Chain A
Amino acid sequence: MNPTRKRRLIVISLILGAVGIAAALTVLALQQNMTYLYTPVEVLGGKVPAEARFRLGGMVKGGSIQRSSDSLKVSFTVTDGDAELPVEYNGILPDLFREKQSVIATGTLQGKHFVATEVLAKHDENYVPRDVKEAMAKAHEKHSVPEAAGKAKSEAK
């Protein structure tokens, strides 16, 4: 390799290395600051400043959804396994919203309730055909395996 090319190679490699390190440090610094959502444990633990708007993330607790009969008002409980928080919302819910679904609600804490202005459903990375899911559900029923046990197993994998 002739000297000019060698020099260029070294200079460009050094610049790339420097930019890489700068990016890595930025990502590490953001790790602590860039919180997209808080879980109920963190909220109850006082990690969220009072009266701040934030995103609350977790699972909709089974059997906790209560819809009002004459309006769009809905209330449900968000849980992360360790703690739970009641949520109130007035508006249209996304298609994927249902019990035991991960959701992200934006809003403020008012007293012990979280009043949401927006509720988003989080989709997981699993894609299962409908017939397979039905067959699985049948097998679970036959062997009396609760749905939650199967889910926990697949998550543990």
Chain B
Amino acid sequence: MNPLVLWFHKLGSPPYFYRLAGRLLPWLWGLAAIGIAAGLYGGLVLAPPDYQQSDAFRIIYIHVPSAWMSLFIYFFMAVNGFIALVWRIKLSEILAMAAAPVGAAFTFICLATGSLWGKPMWGTWWTWDARLTSELVLLFLYLGVIGLYHAIEDRRQAARAAAFLALIGIVNLPIVHFSVKWWNTLHQGSTVKLFGPSLIDSRMLWPLLIMAVATKFAFAASLLSRARVDLLELESGKDWARQIALAEETSA
């Protein structure tokens, strides 16, 4: 078997994943903390004020990375949901369901900071334009996935039902992303572009990019911490889980 495929199979085994995640976690938390500290210092202190909004523009260092994370985590959740539905891999069910609350939190932060910025800049806390509405729908999709997962008794059936909802909801992602292009919205278009030059000065851009990477680490760290606990709970009848529980007990 191809070594990459072999590694993938190994990763799918709960005890192997549990140990690997345990080793990675301190690094991930550390990188996330350093990255967020550096990004926030760069964004809130070093970056020059905007010519129109002066210091109020600095909320983008929270708002924009959260918005990117809300889409990224949903995609991650849906991909894992797809794997869980087709191949019934236990680990994918766990990862998809552990990602949902983290994604919901980022979506909420994105909506809340946008609202705080919108009041002084636009003149309103909220308006029903396409970008704001589709992002709110994204939050409700996350809440729906979390709710459905907890409404069904059997953990594995619950995960598959919720994964199905997550998979259907993926049609909202392009709508959120392209809403500012397709319709006339109050929300401005994209500033940072993957293709072509970004519409932001480089001195303002670098802390934003650091924050984007740091939030990925924060997500990975949070996800793995949650997934480890869920795995242990789901496999509590198995030998490997008992051994870990015993070891924890004796060391405590």
Contacts and interface: CB of A to CB of B under 8 A. Distances in A.
B235 interface: no
A133 interface: yes
Taking residues whose C-beta sits less than 8 angstroms from the other chain, chain B's interface range is 35 or more
A-side binding surface: helix, strand, loop or mixed?
A: mixed
10 contacts: A12-B85, A36-B185, A94-B122, A95-B56, A119-B123, A120-B124, A127-B200, A128-B50, A128-B201, A133-B51
B188 A36 contact: no
A123 interface: yes
Contacts of B129: 36
B8 interface: no
Nearest to A91: B123
Contacts of A57: 184
Interface stretch (A16-24, A45-53, A66-74): A16-24
A35 B183 CA distance: 7
B184 A131 contact: no
Contacts of B250: none
A122 B124 contact: no
Contacts of A22: 171
Interface of B: 47-54, 56-57, 60, 82, 85-87, 120-124, 127, 129-130, 167-168, 170-172, 175, 182-186, 188-191, 199-201, 203-204
A94 B120 contact: yes
Contacts of B203: 129
Nearest to A137: B51
Contacts of B170: 16
Contacts of A128: 50-51, 201
A97 to B, nearest CB: 8
A82 interface: no
Contacts of B167: 12, 16
A104 interface: yes
A12 B190 CA distance: 33
Contacts of B87: 5
A127 B191 contact: yes
Contacts of A9: 86
